[in-house]
A and B are shown apart, each in its own frame.
Chain A
């Protein structure tokens, strides 16, 4: 079963990271990704550019409107995602808990709807 792990963390805090701290974090993500690739859980994943680059698009009655910024203003922002293959929710939760941002932010685990 496929699950999408949405990574939410405090963007402002991350932008204040030193080069060293940033490098350490990247290293953690690299080794986590390697681990779950080896265990066969990894299907895909990417970090996202900060919300300052986000655009929200709506189409209403044929009229498209675009606004600056993310859809919802929250303390923690969507900063990346992993798509994983897991046996069940417990399996998925175990993996999500190992995503480095789980220690500082939060991971939302969503099952993919089979179509």
Chain B
């Protein structure tokens, strides 16, 4: 007896359901499979096999009531088969046999049902474990949690695909060989470990928002991915700083369409067409900022979100409440002393009290040396000199900034500024 033939319409419909399930649920299924097998590679292969099985069987047997449970269960059986085949000629035999016994005893349905949120959080903390290098954390997070291919990540970070693939292989190897646990940190460690997770998301967002190299200002795909991951963390662990980071990313990303012109040229904040800012992102970002600021402990991400919210509130550049922005920078500097924050504060003071006052601060900052090679310090200085009418000094500062800039649109922006000064 053979199964009823499947009509092409049904096959297409089921294929669509499989695709949607892959998009919406494959990362959740993967997170659970990694917990069950304690091995990223086995879990990834099991995930792949489970979806192949779904494509084969759902058109014939019907779409299961709970596709996620079905996939975890199918992936688990496929992986047990795979391990069984491997046991025969693997030198880790005792370890694998122990795993097999455990796995065969575990009930996959109960293992999956109530733990799914926790599994995703475990995955986040494992991918952002401080024992992995920052590069590895970023690559592994985008690959495993974000579901991006190595080619996509390599393209976004402008590194050769084999380099990126190697980075991921090494990170997975370290998780396995040094036994980085698949767990949510204990309460005592949580703040530090959450910081590491947020720092990774911030790195991904920043690379997307202001690409370090290359011919475009932003890489929207990375920003979008960082925001998506930020939402996931807030959903799983609504800590004030996680909320603050998500708010900050949304508020910065809301300006994306206005930050470049049709030709991909950079437009600075004060010259942006604010009608092109994304109101929906601003609304959500502002709500989240307020939520983060109401927390007992207000952290640096929440403050940065608050600064972005003040900008978002100003209908025109000259209506910006610079006094409030300076106050927030004072708070931030107090919390998190850094020369880059000082630079931003100096730029805000220049807007509040005039360019001469800002220039004094930036000169003092540059004299300390830490920012000597930071292009934005020199371009900020050049801008203030330009406002003060000190054309020659401004040109010299732009020339220094230009030498230190690796991003094409930023270079062209400075060249345009220099050309207009020479007129």
Which residues of A are in contact with B by a Cβ distance under 8 Å? 1, 87-91, 93, 109, 111, 113-114
Interface pairs A-B: 10 shortest CB-CB: A88-B181, A88-B179, A111-B178, A89-B180, A89-B178, A1-B179, A90-B181, A89-B179, A111-B177, A89-B131
**How many positions in chain B have a CB within 8 Å of any CB in the partner chain?**
12
A88:B177 contact, CB within 8 angstroms: no
A109 contact set on B, CB distance < 8 A: 178
Report the bound CA distance from A61 to B46 in whole Å. 48
Report the bound CA distance from A4 to B177 in whole Å. 13
Would you give the 0/1 interface string for B373-395, flagging 1 where the beta carbon is closer than 8 Å to chain A?
A: 00000000000000000000000
B189 contact set on A, CB distance < 8 A: 90
Closest chain B residue to A91, Cβ basis: B181
A111:B131 contact, CB within 8 angstroms: no
Report the bound CA distance from A87 to B178 in whole Å. 11
B129 contact set on A, CB distance < 8 A: 89
Interface residues of B in 173-210 (CB under 8 A from A): 177-181, 183, 185, 189
A111 contact set on B, CB distance < 8 A: 177-179
B92 contact set on A, CB distance < 8 A: 114
Closest chain B residue to A109, Cβ basis: B178
| Cross-chain pair count, CB within 8 angstroms | 25
Report the bound CA distance from A93 to B178 in whole Å. 11
Report the bound CA distance from A114 to B95 in whole Å. 10
Subset of 14 A-B contacts with CB under 8 Å? A87-B181, A88-B179, A88-B180, A89-B131, A89-B178, A89-B179, A89-B181, A90-B180, A90-B183, A90-B185, A90-B189, A91-B181, A93-B131, A114-B95
Report the bound CA distance from A88 to B179 in whole Å. 5
Closest chain A residue to B131, Cβ basis: A89
Report the bound CA distance from A90 to B188 in whole Å. 13
Report the bound CA distance from A89 to B132 in whole Å. 12
A114 contact set on B, CB distance < 8 A: 92, 95
Report the bound CA distance from A93 to B181 in whole Å. 12
Report the bound CA distance from A29 to B73 in whole Å. 50
Closest chain B residue to A87, Cβ basis: B181
Report the bound CA distance from A21 to B51 in whole Å. 64
A87 contact set on B, CB distance < 8 A: 181
B183 contact set on A, CB distance < 8 A: 90
Interface contacts beyond A89-B179, A90-B185: sample of 20 additional A-B pairs, CB < 8 Å, sorted by A: A1-B179, A87-B181, A88-B179, A88-B180, A88-B181, A89-B129, A89-B131, A89-B180, A90-B180, A90-B181, A90-B183, A90-B189, A91-B181, A93-B131, A109-B178, A111-B177, A111-B179, A113-B177, A114-B92, A114-B95
Report the bound CA distance from A93 to B186 in whole Å. 14
Closest chain A residue to B95, Cβ basis: A114
Report the bound CA distance from A109 to B131 in whole Å. 10
* Of listed B177, B179, B189, residue having the most chain A CB within 10 A: B179
